[in-house]
Amino acid sequence: CDSVGIDQPEWQLLTSPEEATAFCDKVGYPCLVRPSYVLSGAAMNVAYSEDELKGYLLEAATVSKEHPVVVSKFIEGAREIDVDAVAQRGRVLIKAVSEHVENAGVHSGDATLMLPAQTLTEAEKAEVDKITAKLADALKITGPFNMQLIVKDGTVKVIECNLRASRSCPFSSKVLGVNFIELATRAMMSEEDIPEVEVPTHSDAYIGVKAPMFSFQRLKGADPSLGVEMASTGEVACFGPTKYDAFLKAMMATTMKLPKNNILVSIQDLLREKAIPSLKKLHKLGYTLYGTEKTAAYMQEQGVPVTLLHYKESGQEPCIDDYIYRGEIELVLMFSNQFSQRVLTNYAIRRLAVDYGVPLITNIEVAQLFADSLEATGGVRGEPSGDELDVRSLHEWYE
């Protein structure tokens, strides 16, 4: 990247805990710790302090010359972009630029993707195009490749490039109406130069949204929360005239039941201000909101009607667990971070929701789009207007 002028977060390959600590002190926390060879983000972690760094280094492996780790600066609040592309001898034949709903920090396999990207400026799109072309040329790529980039404050940085087809490649193929793998095979087998593919214009008429599927109900004790290590076991995709239409259908296609009334909310202090507009929107749509102790107090301060539910260990009524047992909570919104104090209690509530089949959203950007989508589709209390949700199949969109 440096040799061809492509920006990336500061990083270093390190062979001792002392080197890792010195690097993180230099660039500042948080930092991403990645073992020298991983699949699906296994053993990857974001360290927010020196103590966390030391713990993650022990978890990754014995750090040595034989087992180095890559440590890079983790940029908070950045949007993440996926690029699926096919090249021949360093020349890009086709590419698809998707955007994650979640901010950077959620594994791309667990992320909710929107294609085409929805919030990039023209300048940011041009930079993504330039980076894609530069990397393909520098590596003389022939075949499929995938890139992850982050965008913040108008700056685009590469965080990963894989010289293979990604799990989002079939999604990109269907949204654009071009078979990426067929094209990649031709590029690899042909001695003649293949012309760049002209993307069919029908793909401009709709948005594709890919949502992850999880198997937490079958994995006893697993923590149903998202991070840099992949947890999903499948995915679904839906299409619509707007991101709201496509997103809501994708969520429903994951077997998520839309809440009809009661929603439990638990939010870490630093995330509460960001969540308030969406909570006000849900209240306006007719939902009854329940909150954990500090969250309920903050919501009341902000003028959002809420009913307090107590943690089980407090011994007070009404109790969160009882409401979930009785099926009186129909959606749990739980947004925690490294500063959360009730780590085990939060885990227990997430696990209880999954075990009792209650839909659970643990990412604030997903919750924001969920509330926006309910509003945009004209629904009230989980009942979107049938006239508002577009029921056309992908083949109908192609026509």
Q: What is the pLDDT of residue 338?
A: 55
> In the numeric block, which tokens belong to residue 93?
């034949």
User: Can you tell me the mean pLDDT for 29-47?
Assistant: 73
Mean pLDDT in residue range 194-223? 85
Average pLDDT over residues 174-190: 95
Average pLDDT rounded to a whole number, residues 50-69: 73
- Assess contact for 85 and 148: CB atoms under 8 A: no
Give the span between the Cα atoms of 262 and 331, in whole angstroms. 7
* In the predicted structure, residue 346 carries a pLDDT above the cut 70: yes
Mean pLDDT of 333-341: 74
| Percent of the residues in the chain that have a pLDDT greater than 90, as a whole number | 63
Residue with tokens 């926006």: 372
Given a cut of 60, whether residue 173 has pLDDT beyond it is yes
Give the pLDDT score at 22.
Answer: 93
> What per-residue confidence (pLDDT) applies to 249?
94
For position 106, what pLDDT does the model report? 87
DSSP characters over 176-210: HT--HHHHHHHHHH-SSPPPPPPPPGGGGS-EEEE
Residues 116-168 have pLDDT tens digits of: 999 999 999 999 999 999 999 999 999 999 999 999 999 999 998 999 999 89
Q: H or E element: which one contains 211?
A: strand 207-213
Mean pLDDT of the 245-260 span = 93
Mean pLDDT is lowest, of 302-311, 323-332, 389-398, for 389-398
- Where would I find the H helices in the chain? 17-27, 50-60, 122-139, 169-176, 180-189, 243-253, 272-284, 293-301, 320-325, 343-355, 364-376, 394-398
Radius of gyration for the alpha carbons in the chain, expressed in angstroms and rounded: 22
d(CA 295, CA 270): 11
Task: Return all residues near 386 (Cβ < 8 A) that are at least 6 apart.
Answer: none
**Pairwise CA distance, residues 274 & 23, whole Å:** 31
Element (H, E) at 155: strand 155-162
Mean pLDDT of 183-189: 96
d(CA 336, CA 303): 22
Q: Quick one: pLDDT at residue 150? A: 96
pLDDT at 383 over 80: no
CA angle 24, 109, 173 (to 5 degrees): 130
Number of helices and strands (H, E) in the chain?
Answer: 12, 16
Whether pLDDT at 387 is above 80: no
Residue 45 pLDDT: 81
381: left (phi over 0), alpha (psi -120 to 50) or beta: left
pTM of the model: 0.89
In the block, tokens 């020298």 appear at 36
- At 91-116, the pLDDT tens digits run 999 999 999 999 988 888 889 999 99
Bridge partners of 290, per DSSP, are 264, 307
Question: Which helix (DSSP H) or strand (DSSP E) does residue 28 occupy?
Answer: none
Q: What percent of the chain has pLDDT above 70?
A: 92
pLDDT class of 60 with cuts at 50, 70, 90 = low
Between 233 and 289, name the one with better pLDDT. Answer: 289
What local confidence, expressed as pLDDT, does residue 169 receive?
94
